[in-house]
Amino acid sequence: MRTLRIAVAQFQPEDGDKDYNLSVIEKLTAKAKEAGAEVISFHELSVTAYTFFKDLNRKEAEQLAEDVPGGKSTRKLIEIADKYDMILLAGLAEKENGRIYNSYVCVDKDGLVAKYHKIHPFISKYFSAGDRYVTFDLKGWKCGILICYDNNVIENVRATTLLGAEIIFAPHVTMCTPSPMPGRGFVDDSLWQSRKMDPVPLRMEFDGPKGRQWLMRWLPARAYDNGVYYVFTNPIGYDGDQLKNGNSMILDPYGDILTEIKSFDDEVSTALITEDKLTLAGGYRYRNARKPELYGNILSSLHHSQTRPVWMNKTAQ
């Protein structure tokens, strides 16, 4: 039976400081290796940080973007993968054919395995949208990637699964922002500053409707409905001017959590995934029960896509 030990990571990035962020990526990769992991996944734009891109002009965004795989950051990720004999997934800003992409790369000691462009970017008007799904092989497992908002659109998850994905890597920078949903909003800085002396109020905020409770409304459903493993990553602490709650986790095809990080510090956690659940889970049966002749034309009808979240509207600032 196929098995794979995967690590999820979370850390507090520094805006635009690639050298620092890559040093943390290396530190956490080493820690995951010690825990027996074969693969480690980091959050969206983990090499550069994410939220501060909303305040950058095009020149500033372009200066942070790099070629893939020839750029310095991808080469460093490959170097780390080689040093620790690990498969490593991380996010960075990519420049390609005059465009900038919110990209996520998978590398091993031999080089680039796969890369994916976020389909629903919104943090910067200078990011171009990806136009395709990506699947690739890792140690005998078929994998896919969907970045943050991409996972909110259920058709993206179904399409990636139908392309053969058994594991979906879902790097995020999410939660703790305003929304029409009751209880949502930013987390007060004073709770973060007091986290060591009085951690309970911050943990209650992070695990409440601003954070984990919102995540639990949809993330287990994506894994369960599609019968896939879900590898969710998210930063902890400040990303730009926003606090993020971490809660990086791995879910199985039943929608059950195999491992989850509850630390306020830079951390990793691992889980062993096994192939038996892929066909035992309900999502496998539901996929086989589909009748696309009933709804194929409905799902493919023309539609104008709108991605901008509530928290980026002026009224939410």
Q: For 129-133, what is the mean pLDDT?
A: 97
Place domain 3-316 in its CATH homologous superfamily. Answer: Carbon-nitrogen hydrolase (3.60.110.10)
Average pLDDT along the chain:
96
SS (H, E, C) the chain: CCEEEEEEEECCCCCCCHHHHHHHHHHHHHHHHHCCCCEEECCCCCCCCCHHHHHCCHHHHHHHCECCCCCHHHHHHHHHHHHHCCEEEEEEEEEECCEEEEEEEEEECCEEEEEEECCCCCCCCCECCCCCCCEEEECCEEEEECCHHHHHCHHHHHHHHHCCCCEEEEECCCCCCCCCCCCCCCCCHHHHHCCCCCHHHHHHHHHCCCCHHHHHHHHHHHHHHHCCEEEEECCEEEECCEEEECCCEEECCCCCEEEECCCCCCEEEEEEEECHHHHHCHHHHHHHCCCHHHHHHHHCCCCCCCCCCHHHCHHHC
Summarize the confidence of residues 34-56 as an average pLDDT: 98
Q: Given a cut of 90, is residue 312 above it in pLDDT?
A: no
User: What are the tens digits of pLDDT across the range 271-280?
Assistant: 999 999 999 9
Kindly report, residue by residue over 244-270, the tens digit of the pLDDT: 999 999 999 999 999 999 999 999 999
Mean pLDDT along residues 190-209:
98
**Whole-model pTM?**
0.96
